[in-house]
Structures are given as structure tokens and as C-alpha cells.
């Protein structure tokens, strides 16, 4: 499958002066871990790396260090993750039938997770990695709980990769742009287009590096895996 990596964010919650994906994680740029895992998945045949042009030289340097076995094409991201993914979809090679989207900030996903998602895409129009939540969730407005607590047994935390049939995902993105939908993952577009999305088992360690503490957690996980 083809895989898009949104990597054009500003990392506001990280508070860094540069793209958080270029921050060091065990003496390597964070995103190099993501790229290495994605390219090691047997199901991934092409990578679209979506970034801001000012980061492309750093991206090139990372790729030069990795020598990945799959081709990588750059695309220019937009002001939101949703716009960046749409830009990445325009860069897909002609004839691409299945695409997965994986956050550059999720640097701990394993190759097996991408292959598991790809297997699900063989039978479903859409599939996402997710894990059951462990906390009780609340809907809150102005610091006050506002409605019945959701049944935790049916609550899952969506991760990436998220994979889709290309024609349907393109249609959902176009519909979203036409109707002003603002979503934080691609599965939400499928849902609003009333298309089914299968859930595949994610990984507890597949965290999205968002705030500074996540960098420390990511290092612990990498060290436990034997990374040096
Ligand atoms: N305009 C954007 C915003 C986000 N992303 C990417 O989408 C992924 C998930 O987004 P997030 O973790 O929120 O990254 P940022 O948007 O950079 O973080 P923040 O919201 O704290 O600014 C990241 O790999 C990020 O680079 C993107 O490609 N284009
Ligand atoms: C796509 C995602 O990783 C699923 O959990 C998440 O919605 C991304 O959110 P962000 O605010 O763009 O990091």
C-alpha cells in the first residue's frame, strides 16, 4: 500500500522552536524512527512525506542517513493536518488503490502494525488502528461534566495508521472541503460520508509525541526495545 506521512505541523504543544519531528530522540531526529519503521513494513511500497518546504533539507538529510528500501516523495503540507493529508493525496502515484496515513509524530509504531492494517484493507474500504481506552472518559464544558459518562467498554482511542480505498477517501476529503468539515483524523471523514471503518488492534506503545513528556516516554520505550 501507499503511505502518507503528515509531517508539516508546527508542534505548538511541544513548545519547540522547530518542527518537533526534527527534535532529537536517542541522538536521531524523531522522524527517522517513524520512517525506518514504515519502510520496514512489507506492505508499504511508497511513502509520501508531507512537510513544510523549509524542512525539506532536514528531511533529505534524514533520508540520506537511512537509505530506505521504498521510494519517498515530498509533498507540501497545509495549515491543518486535514489539508496536509489532502495535499498528500494529490501526490499519490497514478493507479494507487489503497493509502494509509500515519502521523510522523507516531514514531514508535512497529512494521507489524502497518502490515496488520494492510491485511484489513484487503477486505474493508477503511480501517484504523485503535486501542481500548483505560480511563473513564467524560464530556466536559466549562469545567463541568455535561452528560452521561460514555460506556467505557465501547470507547477506543484512535491511532494511526489509518488506511482507506483511495477513490473513497478522495471523495470524502473533497466533500469535507466543500462542506467545511474540520476533523482531526481521516476516519471522521469516512464516518461523515457514512462509509464503514474497521478497527484493527493498535499498539499501546504507539503514542503520538505531542508534549515534552512524550519524548521522555518514547525514549524509555525505545530503550526497552534495545535501541541504542
Ligand atoms: N498542518 C499540519 C498539522 C499537523 N501535521 C502532522 O500531523 C501529525 C499529527 O499532528 P500533531 O501531533 O498535532 O502535530 P502538530 O500539529 O505539529 O502539533 P500541535 O497541534 O501541538 O501544533 C504530525 O506528524 C504533524 O506533523 C501536518 O502534517 N500538517
Ligand atoms: C490522527 C490522530 O493521531 C488520531 O488519534 C489524531 O487525531 C491527530 O491529532 P493531532 O491534534 O493532529 O495530533
Q: How far is the CA of 153 from the centre of ligand 1 (A)?
A: 29
- Quick one: which atom of ligand 1 is closest to the CA of 80? 1
Q: How far is the CA of 99 from the centre of ligand 1 (A)?
A: 19
C-alpha cell at 215: 519524548
ipTM comes to 0.98
Does residue 18 have its Cβ closer than 6 Å to ligand 1? Answer: no
What does the pLDDT read at residue 228? 81
Q: What is the pLDDT of residues 112-130, one digit of tens each?
A: 999 999 999 999 999 999 9
98 pLDDT exceeds 90?
A: yes
What does the pLDDT read at residue 148? 83
Q: How far is the CA of 216 from the centre of ligand 1 (A)?
A: 19
C-alpha cell at 131: 486501542
95 pLDDT exceeds 90?
A: yes
What does the pLDDT read at residue 65? 97
What does the pLDDT read at residue 106? 98
Q: Report how far residue 93's alpha carbon sits from residue 96's, in angstroms, rounded to the nearest whole number.
A: 6
Averaged pLDDT for residues 81-107: 98
Q: Which ligand is nearest to the CA of 80?
A: 1
**Is residue 63 helix, strand or coil?**
helix
What does the pLDDT read at residue 105? 98
What does the pLDDT read at residue 192? 98
Averaged pLDDT for residues 76-80: 98
What does the pLDDT read at residue 62? 98
The answer, as to whether pTM is greater than 0.80, is yes
Confidence of residue 147 (pLDDT cuts 50, 70, 90): confident
Task: Provide Rg for the chain, Cα atoms.
Answer: 17
Q: List the one residue out of 3, 20, 23 whose CA is nearest residue 12.
A: 20
Could you give all domains of the chain from N- to C-terminal order, each with its CATH number? 2-224 (3.90.550.10)
Average pLDDT score, the chain: 97
DSSP state of 93: P
Q: What is the pLDDT of residues 190-217, one digit of tens each?
A: 999 999 999 999 999 999 999 999 999 9
* Contact (Cβ atoms closer than 8 angstroms) between residue 1 and residue 118: yes
C-alpha cell at 36: 525506518
Cβ neighbours around 41 below 10 Å, total: 24
Q: Report how far residue 133's alpha carbon sits from residue 156's, in angstroms, rounded to the nearest whole number.
A: 5
What does the pLDDT read at residue 227? 87
- Quick one: which atom of ligand 1 is closest to the CA of 51? 28
Q: List the one residue out of 96, 102, 97 whose CA is nearest residue 49.
A: 102
| Alpha-carbon dihedral 132, 135, 136, 138, rounded to 10 degrees | -100
Amino acid at each position: 500500500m501507499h503511505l502518507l506521512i503528515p509531517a508539516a505541523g508546527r508542534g505548538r504543544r511541544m513548545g519547540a522552536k522547530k518542527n518537533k519531528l526534527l527534535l532529537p530522540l536517542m541522538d536521531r531526529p524523531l522522524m527517522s524512527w517513524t520512517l525506518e519503521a514504515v519502510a520496514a513494513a512489507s506492505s508499504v511500497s511508497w511513502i509520501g512525506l508531507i512537510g513544510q518546504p523549509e524542512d525539506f533539507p532536514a528531511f533529505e538529510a534524514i533520508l540520506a542517513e537511512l537509505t530506505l528500501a521504498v521510494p519517498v516523495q515530498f509533498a507540501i503540507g497545509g495549515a491543518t493536518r486535514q489539508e496536509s493529508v489532502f495535499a498528500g493525496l494529490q501526490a499519490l502515484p497514478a493507479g494507487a488503490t489503497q493509502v494509509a496515513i500515519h502521523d510522523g509524530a507516531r514514531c514508535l509504531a512497529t512494521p507489524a502494525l502497518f502490515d496488520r492494517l494492510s491485511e484489513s484493507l484487503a477486505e474493508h474500504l477503511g480501517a484504523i488502528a485503535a486501542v481500548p481506552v483505560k480511563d473513564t472518559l467524560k464530556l466536559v464544558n466549562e469545567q463541568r461534566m455535561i452528560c452521561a459518562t460514555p460506556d467505557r467498554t465501547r470507547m477506543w482511542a484512535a491511532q494511526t495508521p489509518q488506511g482507506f480505498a483511495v477513490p473513497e477517501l478522495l471523495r470524502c476529503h473533497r466533500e469535507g472541503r466543500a462542506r467545511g468539515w474540520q476533523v482531526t483524523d481521516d476516519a471522521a471523514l469516512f464516518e461523515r460520508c457514512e462509509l464503514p471503518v474497521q478497527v484493527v488492534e493498535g499498539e499501546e506503545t504507539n503514542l503520538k509525541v505531542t508534549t515534552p513528556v512524550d519524548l521522555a516516554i518514547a525514549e524509555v520505550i525505545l530503550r526497552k526495545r534495545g535501541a541504542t
